Amino acid sequence: MKVSYNWLKDFVDLSDISAEEIAERLTVSGFEVEEVEYANKYLHDVYVGKILKIERHPAADKLVVCQVDVGFKQVQIITSATNVFEGAHVPVSLDGADLANGVKIKPTAMRGVASDGMFCSGEELGVDDNYIEGGSLYGILILPEDMKPGTKIEDALMLNDVVFDINVTPNRPDCNSVVGIAREICAIYGKEFKEADVSYKTVGENVKDYVSVEVKTKNCPRYTASYVKNIKLERSPLWLRSRLWNVGIKPINNMVDITNYILIEQGQPMHAFDYKYIDGKKIVVRQASAGEEIAVLNGNSYKLDSDVMVIADANKPVVIAGVIGGVNSCIGDDTTESVFECAVFDLKSVRLTAKKFGVRTDSSARYEKGVNVNLPTTALKRALHLVDQLGCGEIVDGVVDVCSKQLQQTEELKISYSKVCKILGIDVAKEKMLQILNGLGIVSSIEGDVITCVTPYTREDIKNENDIAEEVIRIYGYDVYNNVEGVMFENSSITIGQYEPRLVLENNLKNLLVGGGFYETLNYSLYTASACDKLLLAEDDERRNVIKIANPISEDMSTIRTVMAHALLVDVAYNLSVGNKDLRLFEAGRVYQPKALPLTELPVENNRLSIAVCENGYNFFMLKGVIENLLLNVDLQYKLERSKQSYLHSGVSADVVTADGKVVGWFGKVHPTVLKNYDINQDVWYAELDTDYLAALAEKKYATKEISKYPVVERDIAVVVDEKVTNGELVAAIKSACGKIFYDVNLFDVYRSDALGEAKKSMAYKIMFMSEDKTLTGEEINSAVNKVLKSLEFRYGAKLR
């Protein structure tokens, strides 16, 4: 909200406080001043001048030489402008002047004649026709004759203001106004608030003879109206225009300007109707009917329905309540009689309507934050005061006031002084606390521990001790805490800290991966549903049921991911595209699987660890080693089965399957078609683990055995088997054939050659034997090896090589 320094001066004496200091103090007491703007920032060394004499330039037909009185001296200005005349009052920029359009003025000579400066157009001063007559003219701005030569132009045009851009928090709707901020400044500095003048003369008669008001909706707790006749529509005086202009509002005419003035000063949106268009002399506040339509002031036309509240006359809607006025009843050049509206509309209703039509106005912005039900009468009186002061029309006696809400000027609250101190953790002296509260207009007194607070109607946000504590400390000064010392939790409990188990596991796994050369990535959990296609998910794969965001930021981020792999593949493709090589990446993230669509309950959020490798010479068994090592951290019995993941290579991938058949991980080479879909032309290895499942397993327990005193004996064998026989099968057979003296077995070579026969391979094993209670004899070992060979031959047709 933009607030003018000069405007604030109407309500609080600021003669001893600079704008910069106000900005600082407002910020530390809860009204963050985001910017301090100087309305005339780019304007100086420009003065009002009076042209005394105009002569032709001796050397140029299109130039004239002017002698100009700028008050403190006489200067000579050369101009090509054609709208100047002797006696004209004009803006004169002198040596060193800065203009609003960034131009800097230096004395110069034009065709041999010296010029001390330049006359200015409205544009060069940063104003236009809306602000001052002739402001948009291509030529020199001719000033009113009452502007005295020598006056600084920013003073003459009343641009010498400072504007605070204040971030008003939603709990303080009362401060979306000059008076609200002025009250805060009074509280901060202990100054007296100067009430606005709300007096005005009327011409008698009775407003009720001109207009009636009927409220037919619960969304309008209060509607007040008054009537002005014999209106003289004209420009507002410069002081009023400057108030609006400096806070960024375009002056229009005296009646409309008054409504805007009240909006800014009092925080009360107003509307002025042209009376002759109000059918039946009647204002009806109601919900619109389906099929109604209204053309409004922003040039658009909207179809209405019963969710939209309107102000209507006897026949038609004339305003979308609280949001924007219709063209059918607005103040125009021929307006002579007007109804002034000051109303309160329900904030939710205005908010929904503004959202529905995508129309945000100064009016809707205030209604959405809440306008106090007590405000309209004060604001309306203030508006009528301005009508009277400006002489824009005759005010008819009385105000129509339809109010369905009980008006309460103040509210009494009893709170505990010691509780306020406890909340703050510091002792604020009773007198100091009362002084602060009273300064804020919260009339307070104390008896024992009980403070009785009478809050003004503007402060609907104050309900309990915490609210009072905040009021006290923000004025007392939060800087008391900047160097806080003492013992924390002095009077409270000891609690024991701990991590969620999954985070502990996840961190262990992450650190292992980092030790193995992996880099952690972070990826968006939003993606496009086409990721499921790229990953070749089957039509009936449940992961195709993705949750869609109703208001996505872009198609790319329109759904919530059900698959991890997409993100890492995108990362791999990106890194390859910028020339990065040897990629080992991982991500700890979530997938979000809905139970049903459309969503009626929260989805299952499952934490996963995903891994991707793109590196020359990498292979399936290296990745398998990574996964095995990670799984050693948990107490999991698992077996590997051929993977069913659509995006993995069907021959070079495995699922990690628990004893009860649950798939808790998978790894392998990425499917060639998937790689193509991601524009990757190198092998990529991918793995994923369900960390929620793993973290829920019981803690791994260790039971170690005594180390045997007897030596381990090794024997190597190599057997030729069919290609389809697996290592797993052979190892199991070796183990069972060895019986009790089996210690370990390692596959140390796989050899394929035409000499072995078609689809044959040689598998070489180192078998280790050991006994717990004796040294094994050569015979025992030989016998075991023979058993192994027989068993392998019998079961798998293996031949000793």
Partner 1 sequence: MKEKLQQIVEIGVNEIAAADDLKKLDEIRVKYLGKAGELTQILRGMKDVPAEDRREVGALANTVRESIEKALTEKLCVLENAKLAADMEKERVDITEPSQGVKKGALHPLTRFNNKFMDICVAMGFTVVQGPEVETDYYNFEALNVPKNHPARDMQDTFFITDNILLRSQTSNMQVRCMETMKPPFKIVCPGRVYRNDSDSSHSPIFNQFEALVVDENIGLKDLMLMIKEILKRLFGEDVKMRVRPSYFPFTEPSIEIDATCQMCQGKGCSLCKGSGFSEVFGAGVVNPKVLEMSGIDSTKYSGFAFGPGIDRSVMVTNKIPNIKYLFRNDLRFLKQMR
> 510 with 540: CB under 8 angstroms?
no
Does residue number 629 form part of the binding site for partner 1 (CB under 8 A)? no
Task: Choose the stretch contacting partner 1; rule: CB under 8 A; options: 292-300, 368-376, 397-405, 631-639.
Answer: 368-376
DSSP 415-429: EEHHHHHHHHTS---
- Tell me which residue of 453, 446, 410, 419 sits closest to 431, measured CA to CA: 446
Q: Which of 16, 146, 412, 500: binder of partner 1 (CB under 8 A)?
A: 500
Q: Report 596-625 residues binding partner 1 (CB under 8 A).
A: 598-599, 602-603, 605
- Tell me which residue of 156, 347, 178, 144 sits closest to 249, measured CA to CA: 178
Residue at token pair 């049921």: 545
Q: Residue 258 — φ and ψ, nearest 5°?
A: -65, -40
- Cα 565 from Cα 584, distance rounded (Å): 14
Q: Which of 583, 721, 738, 792: binder of partner 1 (CB under 8 A)?
A: 583
Side chain identity, residue 765: Y
Task: Choose the stretch contacting partner 1; rule: CB under 8 A; options: 126-134, 264-272, 424-432, 787-795.
Answer: 424-432
CB of 576 to partner 1, least distance (A): 10
Does residue number 36 form part of the binding site for partner 1 (CB under 8 A)? no
591 versus 733: smaller Cβ distance to partner 1: 591
Residue 631 has a CB neighbour count (10 Å cut-off) of 17
Does residue number 398 form part of the binding site for partner 1 (CB under 8 A)? no
CB of 191 to partner 1, least distance (A): 20
CB of 19 to partner 1, least distance (A): 18
* Adjacent-strand bridge partners of 12: none
Does residue number 327 form part of the binding site for partner 1 (CB under 8 A)? no
User: Total binding residues for partner 1 by CB under 8 A?
Assistant: 96
CB of 328 to partner 1, least distance (A): 29
Does residue number 464 form part of the binding site for partner 1 (CB under 8 A)? yes
Task: Choose the stretch contacting partner 1; rule: CB under 8 A; options: 44-52, 86-94, 149-157, 171-179.
Answer: 171-179
CB of 269 to partner 1, least distance (A): 15
102 versus 170: smaller Cβ distance to partner 1: 170
Does residue number 460 form part of the binding site for partner 1 (CB under 8 A)? no
CB of 406 to partner 1, least distance (A): 22
- Cα 779 from Cα 582, distance rounded (Å): 51
Q: Which of 479, 539, 706, 758: binder of partner 1 (CB under 8 A)?
A: 479
Does residue number 523 form part of the binding site for partner 1 (CB under 8 A)? yes
Structure tokens at 680: 């990757």
* Adjacent-strand bridge partners of 131: none
Does residue number 476 form part of the binding site for partner 1 (CB under 8 A)? no
Q: Which of 482, 616, 637, 704: binder of partner 1 (CB under 8 A)?
A: 482
Residue at token pair 């939003």: 526
The dihedral built from the CA positions of residue 556, 557, 561 and 565, taken in this order, carries a sign that is: positive
Question: What Å distances lie between residue 758 and 518, 789, 796, CA to CA?
Answer: 40, 22, 16
- Cα 121 from Cα 648, distance rounded (Å): 73
Does residue number 466 form part of the binding site for partner 1 (CB under 8 A)? yes
- Cα 341 from Cα 363, distance rounded (Å): 12
How many Cα atoms are found within 13 Å in the side-chain-facing hemisphere of 232? 10
Does residue number 515 form part of the binding site for partner 1 (CB under 8 A)? yes
Q: Which of 550, 596, 659, 698: binder of partner 1 (CB under 8 A)?
A: 550
Residue 225 has a CB neighbour count (10 Å cut-off) of 25
Does residue number 281 form part of the binding site for partner 1 (CB under 8 A)? no
Does residue number 548 form part of the binding site for partner 1 (CB under 8 A)? yes
109 versus 488: smaller Cβ distance to partner 1: 488
Residue at token pair 């990690």: 656
- Tell me which residue of 718, 732, 723, 707 sits closest to 789, measured CA to CA: 718
Residue at token pair 């790229």: 534
Instruction: Annotate each residue in 341-360 with x if it binds partner 1 (CB under 8 A) or - if it does not, as one string.
Output: ------xx--xx--------
70 versus 532: smaller Cβ distance to partner 1: 532
> 775 with 710: CB under 8 angstroms?
yes
Does residue number 370 form part of the binding site for partner 1 (CB under 8 A)? yes
